[in-house]
Amino acid sequence: MTSLLDSLRQLTTVVADTGDFEAMRALRPTDATTNPSLIFKAVQLDAYKPLLLQTVRAHRGATVPELADRLLVAFGQEILNIVPGRVSTEVDARLSFDTRATIERARGLIALYEDAGVPRERVLIKIASTWEGIQAARVLQQEGVRCNLTLLFALPQAVACAEAGVQLISPFVGRIYDWHKKAAGAQWVEAEHMGAQDPGVQSVTRIYRYYKQFGIKTEVMGASFRNSGQILALAGCDLLTISPELLAELAGREGSVTPALGAADAGPAMERMPADEVSFRTLMNEDAMASEKLSEGIRAFVADGRKLDALISSL
């Protein structure tokens, strides 16, 4: 019998959401994504400490931000030796509200990759889906730097990303689910919010159908899953980035995955949403979940970025 993971691969590009090389070798994803939290977690493991030490020792005299970027690229190079597709490397989340600084940091990351012989087509630069981040991505895309807009929780972010011509977006399923479950408190009934009824799944489905209805080429990559049911409810999405634990679960279960989304599935007709700055900020402000989770996500990545800086400084 075919595993659920192998069946899913027939419908969706499977991406590993990890900095763990061994997990990638075992689970054979097409692409891989990283973020400051995953890299900080990885470099504390004995298997990856040599990569950290090697990076710091090879570039004595470099600033901590420069060393951090070199470490991210070192991980990216190793990942690209394993996966056949692309790796996503994230710009420092502390720059999430600084368009110019984000552009410069992204250019620096791409330059490091190209100096190492990695073509830019195999790299996605991850940027938070703030208004400033989306405008940075607009400039970078025009320069041939492909971007992955992360920490995306609502359709207005997705629409602004599409208008900016970004390569790929990463709408977060699990964090949307978390917010709604917490907000409902004792009124939450898990059985009523599973599969297609999951609020995170519904958000990604709406974005996916909006893109297909209007012929938008930006790729949709569902992210931040809490359980395999959320993954299976989005089978057919362009890409899904999945943790090693959930990849292993799917690999260990036999069965066939039924497509939930498809290129011809535009769903009910939707009106075109404005993508100017005032509309973006207004709609985000009206969406408590999206605005709260975006801010929370940036704070979490900033905190782990600082922890990584401290670790580098200690060497």
171 neighbors 158 (Cβ within 8 angstroms): yes
DSSP the chain: --BHHHHHHTTSEEEEE-S-HHHHHHH--SEEE--HHHHHHHHTSTTTHHHHHHHHHHTTT--HHHHHHHHHHHHHHHHHTT-SS-EEEEPPGGGTT-HHHHHHHHHHHHHHHHHTT--GGGEEEEEE-SHHHHHHHHHHHHTT--EEEEEE-SHHHHHHHHHTT-SEEEEBHHHHHHHHHHHHGGG--GGGGSGGG-HHHHHHHHHHHHHHHTT---EEEEB--SSHHHHHTTTTSSEEEE-HHHHHHHHTSB--PPPS--TT---S--PPPP-SHHHHHHHHHH-HHHHHHHHHHHHHHHHHHHHHHHHHHT-
Q: How far is CA 244 from the centre of its chain?
A: 15
Residues known to be catalytic: 126
24 neighbors 83 (Cβ within 8 angstroms): yes
